[in-house]
Amino acid sequence: MSGEYCECKESDEYCESKVSGEYSDCRMSGEYCECGMSDEYCEYKDIGEYCECKESDEYCECRMNGEYYECKESDEYCECRMSGEYRECKESDEYCECKVSGEYCDCRMSGEYCECGMSGEYCECRMSGKYCECKESDEYCECKDRGEYCECRMSGEYCECRMSGKYCEYNESDEYCYCGMSGEYCECRMSGEYCECRMSGEYCEFWMSCEYCESGMTGEYCECRMSGEYCECRMSGEYCEYKDIGEYCECKDSGEYCECRMRGEYCEYKESDEYCECRMNGEYYECKESDEYCECRMSGEYRECKESDEYCECKVSGEYCDCRMSGEYCECGMSGEYCECRMSGKYCECKESDEYCECKDSGEYCECRMSGEYCECRMSGKYCEYNESDEYCYCGMSGEYCECRMSGEYCECRMSGEYCEFWMSCEYCESGMTGEYCECRMSGEYCECRMSGEYCECWMSGEYCECRMSGKYCECMVTGEYCEGRMSGEYSECRMRGEYCEYKGSGEYSECKVSGEYCDCRMSGEYCECGMSDEYCVFKENGEYCECRMRSEYCECRMSGEYCECRMRGEYCEYKGSGEYSECKVSGEYCDCRESVEYCECRMSGECCECWMRGEYCECRMSGEYCECRMRGEYCECKESDEYCECRMNGEYCESKVSGEYCDCRMRGEYCECTISGEYCECRMRGEYCEYKGSGEYSQCKVSGEFYECRMSGEYCECMMRGEYCECRMSGEYSECRMRGEYSEYKGSGEYSECKVSVEYCDCMESVEYCKCRMSSEYYEGKVSVAYCE
């Protein structure tokens, strides 16, 4: 990401340098970045002093540490998103919406007060503010963190204290807020005494060992996620979601049992079905219509039969499919060898026929939307989002490196890049404040290193927290030694490598989401998603193995077949009919053979069509030899009789809508999408000229044309890229140069008129010499002919 300048929308010399450019949108280490108009400094996302002056103000909308920001009207201070003193005064408020550290208004990080929607003194302190988000004229409202009172939607004294307020969500005349009726306490998300305490509250939505939680009505218990006797017990409760006074919770109709999210025997009695939608381990689940068995998400004998199929919806389940965590290959949408490996697959989500596309994890190349050699590698690709002819992807202009979401040396590396998404001045990526490591939402030393950071996403001040990948400990919301110990349990919900995790009940092992020896080991556990202490996960019927999301040899056998819907490594899956193989969405040699045909689901008479897996050609909608090959077909989707048409991936020519030789070549065509008969038109990628709409020599070349998008007959107008002058709305020589034109937006007959950014004079509505220079000009808002004003 070391390019000096990048993404000059118009004719500016410097603009939107996403990484290290001197000016404009330097997302990484650039000094100045993204000047909306022609200001010298604007929208400094990293270290710049000033940023994003939308008009002619000297200071406006500095998202990070600018002193003043985004004065929409005549306010002196407004919308300092980071460390400005005052932020975003939407109307005439003195203080408003300081998203980070301003004294008042929307201090997302360490500000004392923040985001006053109207004129309230305190409002919406998302983190440590005392009072926050007074939407109307309430004195106290919506304290998301530590405010005493917060989010009074009406005029009540107490209302919706999401974090540590004593009372919260005062709707009308209730003494205590957000009780469905007249409950005593409810929905204190943090440390309140009663009501939905997500952390350490004594009552309400107690994640670990609380006794009571979230009373919807007048019931004594409700939404006891742990040990409550009634009401939405997500884990071990006997009954759950006690809304009324019924013996069993949330019966939408007149069913006796309904919607027990965890271990209820019956759940979600919608109509007249005896059993329906048991999300966890009920015997029968979610009978949408009259099917006897349907959508057993976990261990039911039958799963998700949408209609009358005996077996249905094996989303990926061939040899490798839907490996959410450590599967080598997973979720191949079509028939590609590699596709949509969400975690560790080498290649993934080849939507069409590209050799490499959209590797979310470790693929070398992925998601080449066009025909660039490298483009949009979301995970570990070396280069990504190859828009034009740049050597490295997603540089608006010619930056050497920019927005490498994965392994780029600099710039928004979402996964394992050494340095990426450098919001501030921290050494590593996405540092919300001044932490040494990226995106420290509070004041923790380490926070939210999404991939390769040693420590990441410390929500509070814990030493270790939410290391999604390689962290030793992760998601410690408080200061527990092991992650996400929301209460006093020694080990609980260690999503990564804790020895034991999410110890909710009295069993030896219970819902260890990661590395526990038994139960729901999404990562490296030997066995996974065992409701309690079963040796193999989700063991409901007599099947030996079922729905082992991790490493069991076979998993999720809906019936008694030896192989069926193996989301991981089963050799065969989803045996629907009497054929040898049926609807193997991933690695089966033949798939979705509803009968005994060699190649299955040929909608027409084509020999090969709609091969979900490895068919050479697939989904021939008509009689063409090649059509709509979503994966590796050389040609695809011939809608008519054209020899070549709409080859979305690597066809040489594609989508010849008219008789033109070249049109709409989304991938490698030299010219593409000739709407009319012009020789060159709308070349989205590398065409020299593009989108020939009128009779002008050049018009609307979105990419590399020298001059383009001349809406009128002017010689130069609206040059999005490198044009010298652009968007001449009238006949003036220069008008509305959005970036660094000498003069801009020439509306009237005055010499200077509405220069939104840094020109010497601006916004002369009439012929006065100086008028309405909103911020730093020598003369300010001289509506009449006075020499100086404001």
- Where are the chain's structural domains? 179-272
Contact status, residue 702 vs residue 695, Cβ threshold 8 Å: no
The pTM (predicted TM-score) of the whole model is: 0.14
Residues paired with residue 667 on neighbouring β-strands, in sequence order = none
Helix-, strand-, coil-residue percentages of the chain, each rounded to 5: 0, 0, 100
Tell which phi-psi region holds residue 25, choosing left (phi > 0), alpha (psi between -120 and 50) or beta. Answer: left
Amino acid type, 175? E
- Residue 169: per-residue pLDDT: 36
CB 516 within 8 A of CB 534: no
Coil vs helix vs strand at 114? strand
Greatest alpha-carbon span in the chain: 91
704, 696 Cβ separation under 8 angstroms: no
What six digits make up the tokens of 412? 């928004």
For CA atoms 55, 60, 64, 65, give the dihedral sign: positive
Q: What is the pLDDT of residues 8-39, one digit of tens each?
A: 333 233 333 332 223 333 322 223 333 332 33
List the structure tokens of 269.
């009695």
Residues 6+ apart with CB under 8 A from 640: none
Contacts of residue 61, defined as CB under 8 A and 6 or more positions apart, other chains included, come to: 42, 43, 51, 52, 53, 54, 69, 70, 79, 81
Residue with tokens 């020598």: 778
DSSP 8-state secondary structure symbol assigned to residue 532? S
DSSP label at residue 132: B
Q: Is the torsion defined by CA of 516, 517, 520, 524 positive or negative? A: positive
CB 362: neighbour CB atoms within 10 A? Answer: 21
pLDDT of residue 480: 29
Burial 109-139 (b: 16+ CB within 10 A, else e): bbbbbbbbbbbbebbbbbbbbbbbbbbeebe
Encode burial over 380-407: b for 16+ CB neighbours within 10 A, e otherwise.
bbebbbbbbebebbbbbbbbbbbbbbbb
- CB of 309 within 8 A of CB of 293? no
Amino acid in the structure at residue 381: G
Look at residue 608 in the predicted model and tell me its pLDDT: 35
The tokens describing 453, both together, are 């950071």
Q: Rounded CA gap, 539 and 528, in Å?
A: 11
Alpha helices per DSSP H over 168-292: none
132 phi and psi angles, rounded to 5 deg: -160, 150
With beta carbons less than 8 A apart as the criterion, state whether 479 and 463 touch. yes
- Judge residue 217's burial from the number of C-beta atoms within 10 Å of its C-beta, 0-12 exposed, 13-18 middle, 19 or more buried: middle
Shortest CA distance to 385 belongs to which of 131, 639, 6, 693?
A: 6
Yes or no: say if 546 and 534 are a contact pair by the CB < 8 Å rule: no
Q: Is 24 exposed, middle or buried (0-12, 13-18, 19+ CB in 10 A)?
A: buried
Q: Does residue 212 sit in helix, strand or coil?
A: strand
**Alpha carbon distance 458, 415 (integer Å):** 17
DSSP labels, 440-491: -SSS-SS----SS-SS---SSS-SS----SS-SS---SSS-SSTT--SS-SS
Closest CA to 165 of 186, 187, 149: 149
| Distance in angstroms (rounded) separating the CA atoms of residues 556 and 561 | 10
**Distance from C-alpha of 243 to C-alpha of 85, rounded to nearest angstrom:** 46
pLDDT for the residue 494: 36
8 Å CB contact between 471 and 463: no
How many Cβ atoms sit within 10 Å of the Cβ of residue 581?
21
Which residues are CB-contacts of 539 (< 8 A; sequence separation ≥ 6)? 299, 530, 546
Q: What does DSSP assign to residue 380?
A: S
pLDDT at 323: 28
CA distances 765 to 215, 256, 724, 745, 769, Å, are 61, 73, 26, 11, 10
pLDDT of residue 17: 31
Give the span between the Cα atoms of 196 and 178, in whole angstroms: 10
Q: Which residues pair with 203 in a beta bridge?
A: 212
pLDDT under 50: residue ranges of the chain:
1-790
What pLDDT does residue 274 have? 34
Number of H helices, E strands in the chain: 0, 0
